[in-house]
Structure 1
Amino acid sequence: MTEFVLVAGAWLGAWAWDEVAADLRAAGHEVHALTLSGLAEKKAVPAGQQTHVQDIVDEVERRELRDVVLVGHSYSGVPVGQAAERIGDRLRRVVFVDSNVPEDGVSFLDGFPSDHIRASLSEHDGVWPLLPPAAYAGQDLTDEQIARLIDEGTPHPAATLTEPAVLKRPLAELPATYVKCLLDGPEPLPAVTEALRGGRWELVGLNTGHWPMFSTPRELARLLKEAAARP
């Protein structure tokens, strides 16, 4: 049995993992889907990026979890990667799902061309607003799934995007699987490509869009189970 801790990306809460979590539990695993501070039912809680890292570490330590597979999607790969380092021998593996990854001293927005996001933050009083429906086009989502992403999403706190990551050792030293969602572009970010050269990471392709917990939940759950089985 593996302990999965699932953390969704920007705008999303634990609810985003409902289908994936059900599949993992049916296979006998323990699943802890986590809502980060400032989002969903925790939207009133002030949050920066280090708050999110601590949210994840606290979840692992409070529940006394071991043999943990930490899963970070999109934005949350940045705090998940930092938390993976901090939980030490409690970690079995970290899985990055079409995500950004942390680099020491680098913020989420520093990791890719993000002028459009910075402009949006300045226009919306310190939050990253929800995407319009058109932004989800071509991502293998139904109209109902897009509506749910918008209806249940939460504007994302800006400080989590602008605070720098803090790492004590190279991320490539962690045992990791990177799931690249191919409809969102075939190539991972340069920081991921660099980490893959270290020999402890594997790269797996998934033929869907950026939100596979909605578009292909069973296939994503299968990949998570396979990652957990890696030595």
Structure 2
Amino acid sequence: MKLLVTHFVFVPGGKRTKEDFDRVRALLEADGHQTDALTLSDPEKATLSDHIEELCDRIEKTGEQRLHLVGHSYAGFVISGAADRMPEKVERLVFLDTLIPESGKSLLDFFASAGIDPADFGVPDWPPFAEKLVFDRATFKAIPKTYIHCLASQFLVMTENVVAHVKTHLEQENWTCLEIEADHYCMIKVPELVAKAIVGDQA
């Protein structure tokens, strides 16, 4: 079967850097895919809106029309915001061990709703995490989406309900759900599994 060449854009969460994805990108590029990645500006000084704008700028610079955006952790909010602004340029969204954004809610709102102190998970009260993301639900629903669940994630208490929702709304909300034996930092520790999951049924 001939490989379908895809252009992936990787976005790390929090204070992580694009180098987190170096090994995953190398594997994908060895198979003929195109990849790009960006390090978001300092979350202690930037906002979620800033990060979305940074990703939108990168999307424009690729010159591609149908990109696959891969967001890890907090970056699930960033790729969702960018897809809302530029849906015509997004072929698929890949959520790598993230929460699934809800319009009108911030990352910290999810912790509050769960009755969990974000500080217990090393999530500080930085501006991007407190900013509420507002997006068009119909646009989000229409975009094909893949959720990659890390079975040994340090954030299982936050992601288990997300996985349950995705699995029960696969067709209604355009989801594919995959599971890998890895913790939250899967792209560093098991890049082969992550690369395979990201490609999924695109091969």
What TM-score does the superposition give when structure 2 sets the normalisation length?
0.83
- In the aligned structure 2, how far is the partner of 1:172 from the partner of 1:104? 12
| Post-superposition offset of 1:66 | 2.1
The equivalent of 2:9 in structure 1 is 5
The equivalent of 1:116 in structure 2 is 117
| Post-superposition offset of 1:194 | 3.7
SS at match of 1:11: coil
RMSD: 2.6
Residue 160 of structure 1: which of 128, 142, 156 is its match?
A: 128
Does structure 2 conserve the Cα–Cα contact (< 8 Å) formed by 1:95 and 1:227?
no
* Structure 1 residues 90 and 25: alpha-carbon distance in aligned structure 2, compared to 1, 3 A threshold: same
| Post-superposition offset of 1:228 | 3.8
- In the aligned structure 1, how far is the partner of 2:117 from the partner of 2:56? 31
The equivalent of 1:20 in structure 2 is 24
* Structure 1 residues 191 and 86: alpha-carbon distance in aligned structure 2, compared to 1, 3 A threshold: farther
For each residue in 1:78-135, what CA deviation from the matched residue of structure 2 results, as whole angstroms up to 9, or x when unmatched? 11112122222211111000112221110011123475336999xxxxx93xxxxxxx
The answer to whether the aligner puts 1:212 opposite 2:186 as a matched pair is yes
- In the aligned structure 2, how far is the partner of 1:36 from the partner of 1:64? 20
For each residue in 1:59-82, what CA deviation from the matched residue of structure 2 results, as whole angstroms up to 9, or x when unmatched? 101222222000001111111112
Structure 1: any 5+ residue segments left out of the alignment?
122-126, 129-156
The equivalent of 1:180 in structure 2 is 149
For each residue in 1:156-176, what CA deviation from the matched residue of structure 2 results, as whole angstroms up to 9, or x when unmatched? x80010000010124333210
The answer to whether the aligner puts 1:35 opposite 2:34 as a matched pair is no
The equivalent of 1:149 in structure 2 is none
Deviant stretches of 4+, over 6 Å: none
For each residue in 1:20-69, what CA deviation from the matched residue of structure 2 results, as whole angstroms up to 9, or x when unmatched? 01111111111111111116xxx8xx310111111111110122222200
Q: What pairs up with 1:1-231 in 2 under 5 angstroms?
A: 1-38=5-42, 46-112=45-111, 113=114, 116-117=117-118, 128=124, 158-170=126-138, 171-184=140-153, 185=156, 188-190=159-161, 193-196=164-167, 197=169, 198-229=172-203
* Structure 1 residues 189 and 108: alpha-carbon distance in aligned structure 2, compared to 1, 3 A threshold: farther
